[in-house]
Chain A
Amino acid sequence: MNYVYSIVTIVGIFSILTLALNLQFGEGGIINFGLVAYFAVGAFAYAILTQPPPGELDEYAIGLELSPWLAAGIAVLAAAVFGVIVGGPVLRLEPEYLALATFAFAQVLESVFVNVRSLGNGTLGLSSIEPPAAASIPFDRYDLWFMVGVLVVAALTYLIVTRVSRSPFGDTLRAIRDDELAAEALGKRVERFRLKAFLLGCALAGVAGVLYTSYTTVAAPGLFTADVTFTAFIALVIGGLGSNLGALVGAVIFFGLQELLDLIPLSGETAQLITSLRIAVFGIVLILVLRFAPKGLMGIRRGRGTPKAVQA
């Protein structure tokens, strides 16, 4: 049963990340190519806040040993703050520059985690991270309860983003996405709307990061590469850009399939080959979906929320 818990947990965590991306990119037209940065900030902040002060063998300098719940809250806040730091200067850029700037911020953050050893132990990363409520739940039932917790948070996230996208705020956001000039002419404060959407997305990515790191109990730079960003894009494109249900369905299909494939036992060399080919297949899927079904799975149903950018 354990691997079922594990698959559902991972799929739940990445569903939150994909929903966050849909809010930013699908609804807001903000092409965040550095999504992983906010996921990583949430994860590392949680790790640093909960870990014990450094021992003799540790290279990290800060360990606050806060309660996991408090740490989780602060970590999500940290992701949002990082969103302000990045979003403030870059959100007014043209889409291409925005993509490049967010991407570069994420790459630099990764290089900071690798190079500043006092922050996160360098490439080795931080380990033995304490998940929430570990003391009050029997060890052999913890996986089950963690999965339930993730599902509850994922459901809440879905409720929040659907509420946001059905609100007047969501309408304005989509209006800005499809015609910024017209929205501005109607007196909408374009930058403020975009910043709010970006921030909420970053905070949600931070939530996913906290859950991810408390599930894996490690935070190493190698886990937070641009691949995280791009797999979220693939999942979102498969499901349907601009649709929350699509984001959810895309994430379940894409990440679920990925986790299932990981279950197949393979010997060293074959495993290496299969992993490489899998990367290539992801690429082919992304290319084919964008070409033949740019609205994703949800496009088959309706096209209300589909961004103009992908409408034929």
Chain B
Amino acid sequence: VNEVQTLVFGLVTGSYLIVATLGFALVSRVEKFLNIAHAELIAIGAFVTYGLTKAGWPLPLAGVVAMVAAAAVAVVFSRLVYWPIRRTSAIVLLITSVGVTYVIHGGIESLIEPGAHSYAIGAPAQVDAGLFRIGVYEIAIVVLAALSVLAVHLLLTRTSIGLQWRALSSDESLANGRGIDVRGASLRLWLLVGALGGLAGVLLGLQGSLSTDISFAQILLILSVSILAGLGSIYGVVAAALILGVAMDMSTLVVPAGYREAIAFGVVLLALIVRPQGLSGTGLQRRDA
């Protein structure tokens, strides 16, 4: 395996991390808390895809259903759990999201048998690009990541719902006073967040096998990307995810692969010391200040 090949793998990993972190970053930005349960939305996306491909569904269809399922779960939890306590502190919401993590995790474990699982799909066709080879699924990951970023960008800048989200993120009571339907805007946000999490799950299963306890490793990566990007920063996520993806995969040329995640955190720790507010962004606005 040469350096160029590893760099390409790193960019694929980074692309996955973009999709995995975007939804988390949107919640940090608009709802102003860290949703630890975001990794469980990814797990739902992955295991719904797994179940449906095993039942003979074609992958694209299974993937879409998985995104819908994750979006539905996200909306239900936001309505039942997060919405009623949105006026408490960011810390209470954070710990509550740990509770949500346990609920979804327990649910998944009671349905899926332990051990490693893979999508029931064939081995992907490989494309030889001279300096490196890349599988069709990897290309799909990069393309879908680019489309996700584009979609979130257009939603935020070109649509009225995006304007509402930005208004909510800067001042909820003012937004409410100006006639914005806070409840409806929040609901739509969670739909998007769930769909993005579900998509990340679909992509996760394309990169390797799944086990029911994937979420802690995933949330660590998501947290690393968001710290590097600066909590609440949306666009910083793209750069941070690609940097971390490349750093993690390039590190395997030097140190054993088991340290990939430790490397990710090493980068983040360095960033925290040099630039505590992240690549961009100024941190969460204090809700309880």
Q: State the A residues within 8 Å of B (CB).
A: 31, 89-90, 93-97, 99-101, 103-105, 107-108, 111-112, 114-115, 225-226, 230, 233-234, 237, 272-273, 275-287, 290-291, 294, 308-310, 312
Offer 6 A-B interface pairs, CB within 8 angstroms, sorted by A: A104-B265, A276-B107, A278-B106, A286-B95, A290-B95, A310-B89
Count chain A CB atoms within 10 A of each CB in B90, B100, B262, B273 and give the residue with the most.
B262
Contacts of A276 in B (CB 8 A): 106-107, 109-110
Alpha-carbon separation in the docked complex, A31 to B90 (Å): 12
A101 and B34 CA atoms in complex are apart in Å by 13
Query: With the chains together, A234 CA to B272 CA distance in Å?
Result: 29
A107 and B96 within 8 A (CB): no
Pair A108/B92 contact, Cβ less than 8 Å: no
A94 close to B284 (CB less than 8 A): yes
Residue B22 at the chain A interface, CB threshold 8 Å: no
Mark each residue of chain B from 106 to 126: 1 if its CB lies under 8 Å from any CB of chain A, else 0.
110110011000000000000
- The prevalent SS among residues of B at the interface is helix
A225 touching B216, Cβ below 8 Å: yes
Q: Give A277 to B273 CA distance when docked, in angstroms.
A: 41
Given A90-B272, A100-B34, A287-B99 contact (CB < 8 Å):
yes
Chain B residues within an 8 Å CB radius of A97: 227, 231, 272, 276, 283
* Cβ-neighbour of A89 out of B95, B104, B258, B272 (below 8 A): B272
B207 adjacent to chain A (CB < 8 Å): no
- The listed residue (A226, A272, A290) touching B99 by CB distance below 8 A is A290
Contact between A284 and B91, CB atoms less than 8 A apart:
no
Report the Cα distance A111→B226, complex, angstroms. Answer: 20
Q: How many Å lie between the Cα of A56 and that of B254 in the bound state?
A: 29
In the assembly, what is the distance between CA of A114 and CA of B109, in Å? 23
Query: Interface segment, B41-49, B64-72, B80-88, B189-197?
Result: B80-88
Set B34, B92, B102, B114: member contacting A99, Cβ < 8 A: B34
Task: State the interface size on chain B (CB cutoff 8 A).
Answer: 48
The answer to whether A277 touches B110 (Cβ under 8 A) is yes
Q: What distance in Å separates the Cβ of B131 from its nearest Cβ neighbour in chain A?
A: 31
Which residues from chain A contact B96 at a C-beta distance below 8 Å? 286-287, 290-291
Cα–Cα, bound, A294→B85 (Å): 11
Q: Is the CB of A284 within 8 A of B261?
A: no
Contact between chains at B99 and A286 (CB < 8 Å): yes
B101 touches A283 (CB 8 A): yes
Q: Which of these, A104, A230, A272, A287, contacts B220 with CB under 8 Å?
A: A104
Q: Report whether A31 and B91 are in contact in the complex, using a CB–CB cutoff of 8 Å.
A: yes
| Residues in chain B near residue A108, CB distance under 8 A | 261-262, 265
Residue on B nearest A101 in the bound complex, by CB:
B272
The 8 closest A-B pairs by CB, nearest first: A280-B106, A283-B102, A279-B106, A286-B99, A276-B110, A283-B103, A276-B109, A115-B258
> A104-B265, A308-B288 known; A95 and B272 CB under 8 Å?
no
Residues of B within 8 A of A112 (CB): 262
Q: Does B248 contact A (CB under 8 A)?
A: no
B92 touches A287 (CB 8 A): no
CB pair B103 A100 closer than 8 Å: no
With a 10 A CB-CB cut-off, give which of A99, A104, A112 has the most chain B CB atoms.
A104
Query: Is the Cβ of A104 less than 8 Å from the Cβ of B224?
Result: yes
Residues on the B chain within 8 Å of A275, using CB: 109
**One of B102, B265, B272, B284 near A107 (C-beta < 8 A):** B265
